[in-house]
Amino acid sequence: MIPSAPATSLTASVDDEMLSRMVRTDQMVAVRRSVLAAIPINVVLSCTVALVALHAGRAFEGLIWLLLSLALNGVRSYISRWPFAPWPGVAAESGVATSASGRPVGWHLRAAAAMAGASGCVWALIPLLCDGYSSPQAVFYLTVVCGICAGSVTYGIAYALVPISFITPALLSVAGCLVFAGGFDNLSLAAMVLLYLGALMRGALHSDRAFREGSRIRNEATAMATQLRMAHAKSLDAAQQLALRASHDSLTGLLNREGFTEAATLHLMVPDGRQHGLLLLDLDGFKAVNDAFGHKAGDRVLQDVASWLQRETEDMQAVLGRWGGDEFAVLYGLRDERQAPAAIAQALIRSISFATSHYGGHLGVSIGISVSGEAGFADMISFADEALHEAKRTGRNRYQVFDNALNQRLATRRDVERDLLQAIGTRDIGVWYQPIMTSDGREVHSLEALMRWNHPRHGQIAPEDVIHAAASTGVAEPLLRHLVDEVCRGMRQLEAAGSSLAGVPVAINVSPREMAQLAVDDIVLGMLKLRGIAPRRLQIEITEEVALDTHATRGRLSALSAAGVAIVVDDFGVGFSSLASLRSEYVRQVKIDRSFILDLSSSPGNEVLVDSIVQLGHSLGVQVVAEGVETQAELDVLRNLGCGLVQGYHLARPAPLPDVMAWAAARSAPEPIKAG
Ligand code: C2E
Ligand code: CA
Ligand code: CA
């Protein structure tokens, strides 16, 4: 059974007032039709009446009566064609004249009743043509009057007042005349006529009721159907909106990750024998714009980049999408040489700086490309992602095509991702230590903990790759906990062995991604507490990219700093806003990036830079470390510049803890007394 609730709620919105207006309008339209249909009959009968009168020698009276009848029919016909003013919200049938300035429906109904009454009065004058129904033509007239009255009721089913107004004077005049004539037969006939009048009235009222009921039902059904149609259209519209929102990025209007995946998958399924190019773009310097100009400006950059990308790929019939954050994706079928992905990537890299020059010219784009004839979308995107990763790693604002070497790297990465969690559990991921020395070579200032993993199949895995794999497989937190734990164990081992390095602070590295995505403060401080290690024995090295990052990151850093953990800005000098990080209240140390130390002895430019960083550090009370010291010449220059702390292969290479302990023990052993 179909539940009735929805229908009720639908009709509820067509209120009674509106419904009765619709019914009245229907009545009026029907009355007009019936009047216009009845008039020709009325005219024919009137003419016949006049003819009979003429034949009976009553030409004058007959003519006057005919003129009267014709005039009245003319007026009725005329009024029935007047436009009427529809009620607001009520639609009249098509083909019916309406006008805002026309008379209202109620007026027209009343006018129709009045005119019907007038017409009935004309028929009530028939007795003047037949001496009060006593002449030989009386039977004819009586029949005609009764007939026209019956016809009036038959036609006027919509609005009882019209036929009643017509038949009442006409039949009362008949009955009156018969009563006036007197005699049993006439009186009986008069009674019959009155009975007839009553029956006709009853019939008229009955059909009026039936008509209104029919009209109400019809209007209700129409309104319900209209509302159902509207509701259907609305729900279709809503479903379309939902589908659009689910597949599109609201900021740029491009396909979002899901939408792009779906569209690209379909695109690749078309068997057109063509090769396809997939470009994965990642903006360089977007974060700096976001930090410097705020998120609104960041949003505008993304919108501008989306329109730029649309313009640049206009004639390629490409699928475009925002892959996430500041990453965009383009997939297209290759048609000719000019559309070679490398050429497109080159053009994009060249044009982005113009397209976004009003943001200070910092923006570039790194692009990873995969080209394939038969690979599915999932493979193509991971190839492009790998290539993008490589483009970023090797200098940014460049493109990289996915090739055999990257394919090998991808295979490695997949193994790394697969084995990572297990390696944490079995402690196969370990830590090596590299000493940081005072530049006079006398003391070990601290140790830097560097992650090491010797993968059973792929050998040593670069720490950055482990961090990346941990982030993409969701094990960044267990990895960080594990490394802090390893460092704590290392400290305990140094103490237990009575090493000269016991008590020397140990620095761990935390990547920007870890800093942004993990509660590093809680994790680190929690682990230290668990292992009973004082926070001041730990240092955290972060790249300066992070130092001025979000509110959350700053909060984490100051919590760590407040607990006693020293914050070190790593790779100092190779990003944005270096000087600002020197001013920051929680930065205790900066590490000048290795690229400045390289060839220090032969590069006056680097020397000036290092000198000024050292001076700045002195005046701001921040320790300065030079990392990557590989030669005595570099060390000499650094000493001369007053750089207090140094780290590098020339002093000590990273090594497992026992080796570092042995190295320290050898250093502190008393010099054998030289003979002589
Ligand atoms: P970094 O923090 O700048 O670490 C210094 C890197 O330079 C280390 O490479 C170290 O072995 C190397 N190095 C030290 N002295 C010299 C030198 O004289 N010459 C040259 N050419 N290199 C030198 P490593 O261990 O491969 O680490 C690479 C990067 O991986 C690190 O750069 C650091 O950013 C990251 N990393 C290492 N361990 C971890 C870790 O536990 N967690 C996180 N998040 N990142 C880590
Ligand atoms: Ca470091
Ligand atoms: Ca570094």
What is d(CA 431, CA 538) in angstroms, rounded to the nearest whole number? 15
Measured distance CA(582)–CA(563) in Å, rounded = 20
pLDDT tens per residue across span 374-429: 889 999 999 999 999 999 988 888 999 999 999 998 899 899 999 999 999 999 99
Task: Indicate the burial class of 263 (C-beta count within 10 angstroms; 0-12, 13-18, 19 or more).
Answer: middle
Q: Which residue has the tokens 């008509």?
A: 211
State the pLDDT at residue 11: 45
SS3 340: coil
Q: Contact, 416 vs 474, CB < 8 A?
A: no
Q: What pLDDT does residue 670 have?
A: 67
Expressed in angstroms and rounded, the spacing between residue 551 Cα and the centre of ligand 1 is: 27
- Indicate the residue type of 386: E
Is the distance from CB of 438 to CB of 645 less than 8 angstroms? yes
Locate CATH 3.20.20.450 in the chain. 413-666
CATH top-level class for 257-402? alpha beta
The contacts of residue 511 (CB under 8 Å, 6+ apart) are 464, 467, 543
How close is the Cα of 153 to the center of ligand 1, in Å? 106
Q: Mutation test of ligand 1: which of 450, 592, 593 has the most ligand atoms closer than 8 Å to its C-beta?
A: 450
Among 200, 166, 146, 1, CA closest to 72:
166
Round to whole Å and give the CA distance between 126 and 52.
Answer: 12
What average pLDDT does the segment 145-173 reach?
Answer: 95
Which amino acid, residue 550? T
Which is nearest to 140 in space by CA: 249, 237, 64, 45?
Answer: 45
Of 88-97, 340-349, 398-407, 491-500, give the lowest mean pLDDT range.
88-97
Question: What pLDDT, on the 0 to 100 scale, is given for residue 548?
Answer: 52
At a CB cut-off of 8 Å and minimum separation 6, what does 277 contact?
A: 330, 331, 332, 334, 339, 340, 341, 344, 369, 370, 371
Residue 533 token pair: 């290690």
For helices 463-472 and 404-425, give the axis angle rounded to 10 degrees: 80
For residue 3, what pLDDT is reported? 37
Separation of first and last alpha carbons in the chain? 117
pLDDT in tens, 8-49: 444 445 678 888 899 999 999 999 999 999 999 999 999 999
Pocket of ligand 1 from Cβ distances under 6 Å: 434, 450-451, 462-464, 467, 483, 508-511, 514, 541, 570-571, 628-630, 647-649, 654
Average pLDDT in the chain: 90
Three-state DSSP at 362 gives coil
**415 CB-contact burial (10 Å; exposed 0-12 / middle 13-18 / buried 19+):** middle
**438: β partners:** 645
Ligand 3 centroid vs 571 CA: distance in angstroms?
Answer: 4
Helix, strand, coil shares, percent, the chain, to 5? 60, 15, 25
User: Cα(502)–Cα(484) distance, rounded to whole angstroms?
Assistant: 17
Q: Which residue spans of the chain are classified as CATH 3.30.70.270?
A: 257-402
Q: Is the pLDDT of residue 341 over 80?
A: yes
User: With contact defined as beta carbons under 8 Å apart, do 379 and 340 qualify?
Assistant: no
Cβ atoms of residues 263 and 256 within 8 Å = no
Span 563-591, average pLDDT: 81
SS3 annotation, 171-224: HHHHHHHHHHHCCHHHHHHHHHHHHHHHHHHHHHHHHHHHHHHHHHHHHHHHHH
Residue 646 has phi, psi (to 5 degrees) of: -140, 155
Query: What mean pLDDT is predicted for residues 538-546?
Result: 83
Q: Give the Å distances, CA to CA, from 476 to 50, 420, 480.
A: 110, 10, 6
- Ligand 3 centroid, distance to 594 Cα (angstroms): 7
Pick from 104-108, 399-403, 560-564: least confident = 104-108
Helix (H, G, I), strand (E, B) or coil at 427: coil
Q: What are the pLDDT digits (tens) for 224-261? A: 998 999 999 999 999 999 988 899 999 999 999 999 99
Residues 68, 362: Cα–Cα separation, whole Å: 97
Asked if 38 and 77 touch (Cβ cutoff 8 Å), the reply is no
| Dihedral sign from CA coordinates of 189, 195, 197, 203 | negative
Rounded to whole angstroms, how far apart are CA atoms 298 and 280?
20
Assigned token pair, 472 = 């993409």
Atom of ligand 1 nearest to the CA of 434: 14
Q: How deeply is 351 buried, as exposed, middle or buried, from its count of CB atoms within 10 A (0-12, 13-18, 19+)?
A: middle
Minimal-distance CA residue to ligand 1 atom 3 = 571
Residue 163 Cα to ligand 3 middle (Å): 105
Separation CA 544–CA 82 (nearest Å) = 86
Q: Measured between alpha carbons, how far is 355 from 361 in angstroms, rounded to an integer?
A: 9
* Spacing, Cα 450 to ligand 1 middle (Å): 6
Question: What is the atom index within ligand 1 of the atom nearest the CA of 431?
Answer: 41
pLDDT over threshold 80, residue 281: yes
Nearest CA to 507 out of 530, 524, 519, 495 is that of: 524
Alpha helices in 248-332 (DSSP H): 257-269, 286-293, 295-312
Amino acid at 513: R
Beta bridge partners of 446: 436
Q: Whole-angstrom Cα distance, residue 636 to residue 626?
A: 12
Q: Is 69 helix (H, G, I), strand (E, B) or coil?
A: helix
Q: pLDDT band at residue 520, thresholds of 50, 70 and 90?
A: very high
Q: Atom 45 in ligand 1: which residue has the minimum CA distance?
A: 509
Amino acid identity, residue 218?
R
| pLDDT at residue 14, as a whole number | 64
- Classified as helix, coil or strand, 403 is coil
Residue 92 main-chain phi, psi, to 5 deg: -85, 160
CA distance 172 to 151: 17
- Residue 170: what pLDDT? 96
Provide the CATH topology of domain 413-666. Answer: TIM Barrel (3.20.20)
pLDDT tens digits for 584-618? 778 899 999 999 998 888 888 889 999 999 999 99
d(CA 512, CA 468): 11
Pocket test for ligand 1, best of 393, 486, 509, 513 (most atoms within 8 A of CB): 509
Q: Residue 233 class from Cβ within 10 Å (0-12 exposed, 13-18 middle, 19+ buried)? A: exposed
pTM: 0.60
| Interatomic CA distance for residues 292 and 310, integer angstroms | 26
Residues with CB under 5 A from ligand 2 (ion): 509, 541, 570
**Do residues 450 and 463 lie in contact, with contact meaning Cβ atoms separated by under 8 Å?**
yes
